[in-house]
Every structure is written in C-alpha cells, then in structure tokens.
Structure 1
C-alpha cells in the first residue's frame, strides 16, 4: 500500500472534479490537506480520510486524523461523518469502534452528525472513512511556503507509528526484547496524535501547514515542498524523535521519519517569526523545533526535499506497511 505519484494524481484525480463552482476556493491538489468552500462570508474546510490497518484503536485514530487535516488548514473541526465497513456482522467489534469514535470526538469537541455502516464481503479487517468539516477565517494551504521561511515540526516524528507499534505489534516487540515499561509509555502516544492545539497557535502566522500521515514526517515535508515549489534540505538529526519511538522503530527495523506521522504538525513561518512561534507553542505546552529553512529551487536541487543524501520529488513509501504484509 502506498500513495499514488503526483503525476498519476494529476492525470486521474485532479483533472476529473466534475462541474466548476465559483464557491470552491481550494480544491483537490497535491499535498493539500483539505478543500475550502466559501459559505456565507466564511470558509468551510472539508477533509475525508480512510483508515484500516491500525486495528486496536481504529476509531480513536480515525477521528484524530480526519480532524487534524481540517486543523492543519486553519479550520476549527466541528462536524464528522463516519462510514464504517465491517468484514462480517460483529456487534462486539462495532461496539468497540463506535465507542472509540464517540470518546475521541467528545474529547476534541466534535459532533458526529451521521454516516453509514454495513458489512462488505471480501474485507479482512474493518475500514473506516471519515469526513470532517469546520470553519475558518484564514485558510492555510500546504502550498504557501516561500524561500526564507523556517520549517517547524511540533512534538516529534513517528508518534502515530509508535502508538500503533505498541498495540498491534506488542508480541513482536516483546520477542525483540523491548521492555514492558517502554511499550506501555508508547501506548500513551495515542493521546498526542491530535494537532488541534498547535494548529490554533500557528494558523494566524503560518504561510503553510501540513499534517504528515502516511510516509511520515519525511513524506509530509516532500508534499509541502513540492506543493509550494520550493526546496528543503533536511538534516535527520534536526527532526525531534522521542526515545520510545527510536526504541520501537529500531526493534521493528523502520525509520522514524518514514512511518505514520500523525501527531506532528509541519508548518512554515517567516524566518524572523520562527522563535516567537516556538515560544507561543511552548506557552501552550507544545514542543516545537525549527528543522530546516525553505530554499529557492535551483537546477541542481529542484522542488522537493534532500534527506540523507537523496533528493525526493514524489511520495515516500511508509515503512509500516511492510510490517502488515
């Protein structure tokens, strides 16, 4: 499982969007987290996201991930539509999923307004598709980064992956010799996946924001750089990674920067505002690190990201997927 290339997205998705509408402010585009629609003097931000592989906390993750995309565009997530597809009629499984959806939505102040539930022949595990909606008075795109901007990463890389590893792969971690206390601390990372607090702080000043999910922080940076037509040179040592993440990722043989990245928020701000942005986040109890500076592309470094000696101009495959295969 991996994301389509930018070329395939443009050919098969972005060029086939139905009728034109003057109220559509921002539609489908590479790296963009959500669409923006003008409604009665305000801007409605709309996102939809599927989730299937994180079996233990699929409902909790689903709400956080869908609402993160709205928040990453400067929106305040308010409403959620939930589609639940089950491999077979299973009331206990449905009970678990809807309890998780309800609890996380309540925690984040989001109302579930409807959806659809059914069983689907051929599914081997539950599949959720969640649509989140909210409003904003300042839409922040993924594509707004400019040369000279500072690139911020909140919290750390691989937060979502760490939590999923600690639950879905606990037996494998035990076999690899990871101690129980470390795994237990990693499970608590589910509480850190929402980026609503930091998005609210950064939205007034950010030139771009992006929610890294599949492919991790590295893929999120690639999407932001390519959408903005800029170059970002990333030093792996500059990107914050928690000790639990390093331990679990090392045990499972994956790169913390190339695994499920929800929990971090990537943002660009004018270079002279970087330290004040970090201070404002710190005042709200959110860690943030300046991880790079946005550069103008050159003939030698086209739009994209340079990381560990390699230049990326397209999607980065998430290394977590190999663990499920």
Structure 2
C-alpha cells in the first residue's frame, strides 16, 4: 500500500538499525522527526532527505520544496541540495523537464545544487527524485517539543500541495471552471515554508511541515512525539477556496491530503499574538487552530480523538489509475 510505514514496522526494521553511535549526532532517526541535527564545530548542521515519485508534472519543483521545507521546519536555513534522479527511460525531454524544474526552483529559493546522481533504472514506470538538503540552524526545533499551554499555529492553510497536484495530475476528473483549476495550479509556487519558518524558529517549541496525510497527520505526529493532546478546532483551519473546490471534486478531505506549503508550530501562550503579528507583517497568512493540553497522546479534532497515523486521501486517486 502506498504511503508511510506503520509505526511498528518503522520502529522494528528501521529505527532500531541506525549504525554506530556518534556523540555529534544531536537528533537522529525518530518517528515524526524529519531532519537530523549534527554538531559540526560550534554549529548545528540540519540535514533531511525526501523522495518524490507520484506528482508527475511538477516533480522537480516539488522535490526542492519538500526537501528544503524539512530543514526549515527544524529551524535550519536551507543552503545546499544533493539531487538523485532515477528515470524510467533515457528520454532526454523528460530529463530536461525535471532538471529544468530543479534548477529553476533552487534558484528561486536561493539554494545551490552541490551534486547528486542521475541514471535510468529498469522497472520504473515513472521518474523518482530524492533530494537531500543541508542547512545550519541557530536553534534546532523538533517536531516533539510541544508542551501543555502552547498554542498551535498554522500558516497558509490545509492541502496546499494537494491543490496543485490534483489540479495537474487529475485535471481530467475535475468538473470545475477553468479559472478555478488554473488558480489551483498556482499552489506549486507557494510550497516553500522558508519565510514563515524564519519568523517562528526563534520562539517555537515545536514545528512540523505537514506532508503525507496533510495537516491532520502533521498534528498527529506532533501529538505523538510530544506525548500531549492537541485540541484542534476544525473550523479554525484555513482552507483556500480553490483547495476546497478541487478536494470536493475528487471526494477527499482537505485536512487529510498532501500538505506541503503549510507550517504547523507550537508557541508559548505569551508569544502567540506577537508571532501572528510578525507573520502578518511579512505578508504570511497564519491562524491559531488549537492548543496543547496534558493528556493522552492524540489529536482531539472537534471531539474526534485520533491516536494513530492516517493514510493520505490522495493516494487512493493514484491507486485508481
């Protein structure tokens, strides 16, 4: 089944097998934590790697955003990328499209492509991009740092990435006005969380960028890693008009679909208003969607308690192809 491994398998077969111990590894492999922190001299290097294989039309652009977002969400300043591109054929036009997207998005975000690997692989039916991003952090911010009393903030809104993916990869299923579809496609240009992460990193107790499973899965991972209850008001979660339209058209929940482009953050109660004001000053939409309370590790979504990771609704669309 497409998607992340279940927690038991991840724990038994991945997280228990992490090689030799090293005292300079400040934050290593763990459920819900998307980047490592490594001490290099007096600095903290933040490193993350992520693959993209399903969003065919904008795979290069998405790959850059997803990899750099993981570093930014941990308080790092993304600077360098390593790009692995695996191709189903030697078609030069496909490689031209992907590397063109990698180059353009990296230039737009100020990232240098430092190296990588490219080859044709037998058995693939679509290209795969796996990018590793590096950046230095003044202050490493984990997913699991939230504590009771914190406020939960969300930037931009739910399902930003899914909005663009549905509008391109599944355009033929959308019985919607062309203007809405075109506006939905522009979501690809709004996937970086680097600006909001820079504002939030100095004060946030936890940050997480929701990818697979969307905002709801991102909240679940924050709750499980921090061992707290996240009391969330669904009505407070912003959903853009075009996001609502494309999600309704294919029958998926905006809170349970690919969420890159948004940033979830826990901040102290005394910091919430100032941070929201600072984000507004930078032209970044952000809302408070709930609070952290003591209790079972779960998300309480308007009385519905979610205690286990969920599967992204968008994957069912690809399964039907």
TM-score (norm 1): 0.96
Q: For residues 129 and 9 of structure 1, what CA distance do their matches in structure 2 show? A: 19
2:230 is aligned, of 229, 232, 243, to: 232
Q: For residues 11 and 324 of structure 1, what CA distance do their matches in structure 2 show? A: 28
Structure 2 matches for 1:297-312, cutoff 5 A?
297=295, 302-307=296-301, 309-312=303-306
Q: For residues 101 and 39 of structure 1, what CA distance do their matches in structure 2 show? A: 28
Shift of 1:272: 1.5
Shift of 1:232: 0.8
Q: Which residue of 2 aligns with 1:253?
A: 251
Report how many residues are paired: 318
Structure 2 matches for 1:125-144, cutoff 5 A?
125-144=126-145
For residue 275 of structure 2, give the secondary structure of its aligned residue in structure 1.
helix
Q: Which residue of 2 aligns with 1:6?
A: 7
Structure 2 matches for 1:216-227, cutoff 5 A?
216-227=214-225
Q: Could you tell me whether the CA contact under 8 Å between 1:5 and 1:314 is conserved in 2?
A: no
Structure 2 matches for 1:16-27, cutoff 5 A?
16-27=17-28
Q: Which residue of 2 aligns with 1:295?
A: 293
Q: Which residue of 2 aligns with 1:315?
A: 309
Deviations 1:5-34 (A, max 9, x none): 222222111111000001000000111120
Q: For residues 139 and 276 of structure 1, what CA distance do their matches in structure 2 show? A: 21
Shift of 1:309: 4.2
Q: Which residue of 1 aligns with 2:85?
A: 84
Q: For residues 189 and 241 of structure 1, what CA distance do their matches in structure 2 show? A: 12
Greater than 6 Å deviation, 4+ residue runs: none
Q: For residues 6 and 199 of structure 1, what CA distance do their matches in structure 2 show? A: 27
- Is 1:110 matched up with 2:111? yes
For residue 272 of structure 1, give the secondary structure of its aligned residue in structure 2.
coil
Structure 2 matches for 1:11-160, cutoff 5 A?
11-160=12-161
Q: Which residue of 2 aligns with 1:281?
A: 279
Q: Could you tell me whether the CA contact under 8 Å between 1:152 and 1:267 is conserved in 2?
A: yes
Q: For residues 284 and 187 of structure 1, what CA distance do their matches in structure 2 show? A: 23
TM-score (norm 2): 0.98
The runs of 5 or more residues in structure 2 that have no matched partner are none
